[in-house]
Every structure is written in structure tokens, then in C-alpha cells.
Amino acid sequence: MKKTTTLLADGRELIYYDSADAVVRDAVDRRPLESVATTSELRYDRLLGDTVAIASHRQGRTYHPPADQCPLDPTRDGRLTEIPAADYEVVVFENRFPSLTGDQGRCEVVCFTSDHDSSFADLTPARARLVLDAWTDRTQDLSQLPGIVQVFPFENRGEEIGVTLGHPHGQIYGYPFVTPRTSLMLARLAEHRERTGGNLFDDVLAAEISDGSRIVLAGEHWTAFVPFAAHWPYEVHLYPNRRVPDLLGLDEDARAEFPHLYLELLRRFDRIFGPDQPRTPYISGWHQAPFTAPDRRDFALHLELFTIRRTSGKLKFLAGSESGMGAFVNDVPPESAAQRLREVASK
């Protein structure tokens, strides 16, 4: 992998990731941009113990532009975009409308391909591996920034999820605090260790493998399963079989196998609801150990993938119980979801 770092016209960092060392990236951003002005502020909720980012500047972010005006496309035919190059493989750059900024975190955009009409599921294994390497590199670099406590690479896909740009892309958040979801996992991890002497993540994975009814895919180095208490209609967790705290801990064998299993999962998601509803909306994200966790090696890196679509033409809305109290009600039994995801395996 070759990494080339440059600056956009307003001073934001942009990084090209290329599979060939011979590639030269010397295009210059010619847009007359002013420096990014943000109003991001972190506020602590004393009742719930979590942190909320107040980011009013995001009200003016780009919203569903026509396909021929997408800011994530390459710069071609005289149209200037966020990526100055005429073509690219994988690109990461600082978000122009960040939720977190400065000493309060960092937000980056990851473009998986220059093809506007593609999706992650359409990538080759080699390109998916390059994305994995980019995620890993960003985790390493962001871990060195002052104040960054946790790194979360993720992808939102589909207008139903709230995506405002159709180009295949994801994001990376560098949080200056431990997120609420991770805090809960760390608390359960400590309780389980105190009660049993074992590792909660290891025991969950072992139980799913032993039961087998919710296993979706099993490789030599990774296992994908629908969790016993899945919150979402179709939700899959992908674990490396050897526990590591973050992407940096993966060995070469796990890195080599990951693209094949992950692409197969995404393609199965696109087939859940039949040919009339391809491109299932989903959220996919990597859960990594916070850098400040005292026993971070006990945490297990894993990817969580889920869709808010519960059946053909119907979405799972978070109404009173879920949004108001955080108490989920799932319409699809996890065993049924796993069975469906096995049924739609690639031929």
C-alpha cells in the first residue's frame, strides 16, 4: 500500500491509499475555499452520564446533490470536487462539516471507490483489503493525536439510514471520550471477569459457535453470527477467532481472509428482501478498544452490521420504547434472521 498525504484548498488533510507504489498523486485542489469554520461543542449529560456533540454548522452540509454534482467524485471535465485527482482507489479526508473537531475530536470521510454508482459489496477483494488497510492506518494515526480516546470506522448506506451523499463512502470518528455503547461493554466485561474469571467476548463467541443456530459464515480466522439478543431485524457480528483489541492487532492471515467474508456478508444483505429491493440500507461499524482502557487487551475487536429494514417494504422505526427508554423490541427472531442469511448465500 502506498500512502500519499496532501492538503485541500482550505487546509484540510487528504490522504490517497493506492495499491501500487508507482502511482503519483500530485493534483492540486484549485477551489477558492475559505477555512472551515465550525461551532462544535461537547456537553456532558449529568443524568445519563454521556456526552452530546452540539454542531449547528452541520445544518448547512451538502444534502442529496444531483449525481453529476457529487462532491465525492473525482475532479474531471472541469468540475472541481473534494478529491482533486481525476481518479482514485481509496481516499480519506477531513470532513468539511465535522461533528467533532480540534481538541474535541476528529471526523474523516472514507471514499471506497471513484465509481459513483458502485457500493462496497461491488468491490473486489483486493480493493476491500485496501480499505481495511486504510482503516488500520487511520486508527494508528488518530491514536497519536492529543485527546483522541477511541476510533470508530463506520459506513452508513441508504437514504433510509439518513445518508445524504449517494457515493459509496464511510466515515471515521476519533472521539475524545469513551462512547456510551463501549462503556456498557467494558462494564459487562469487568463484571463477567469478576464473576467467572473468563473473558466475556471469548465466551460469547464460543457459545455461538457451540450452539450453531445463529452462525451465518465461518472462516478459518473469522466467525459471523446473529447475536442471541439481536436488537435489529437483521444484525450480524463479525469476530476474528483470535481476540485482538483493535485493527492494529490483526495478523496477516486474518487480514487476507476478511475481504472475502465481509463482501459475502454484504452481498447476502443485498439479497435478503429479494431482487425487487437490492441495496439493503445498513450501518456497519468497527468496535475497537479505547486507548485509555486499563485492560484494553481484554476487549475484542469486532464488526457490527445491521439493517433497519425488517421485511420487504417496511422499516424498523425506533418509536417510544426504543427511542424513549432504550428498550428494544425485535420483530425478527435471531435464529430466523440467521437462517435467511444462510439461504441467500452466493452460489
Residues taking part in catalysis: 169
Cβ burial of 172 (10 Å; 0-12, 13-18, 19+) is buried
Q: Is the dihedral of CA 329, 335, 340, 341 positive or negative?
A: positive
Contacts of 331 (CB under 8 A, 6+ apart): 233, 310, 311, 316
Identify the sign of the CA torsion 307, 310, 311, 314: negative
Place of cell 477558492: 32
Half-sphere exposure of 199 (CA within 13 A, CB side): 14
Residues 6+ apart with CB under 8 A from 208: 214, 215, 223, 225, 227, 228
As a whole number of angstroms, the distance between CA 234 and CA 221 comes to 23
Helix runs in the chain, H state only: 125-143, 180-196, 200-211, 252-269, 325, 334-343
Rounded Cα distance, 316 and 323, in Å: 12
Cα-trace Rg, the chain: 20
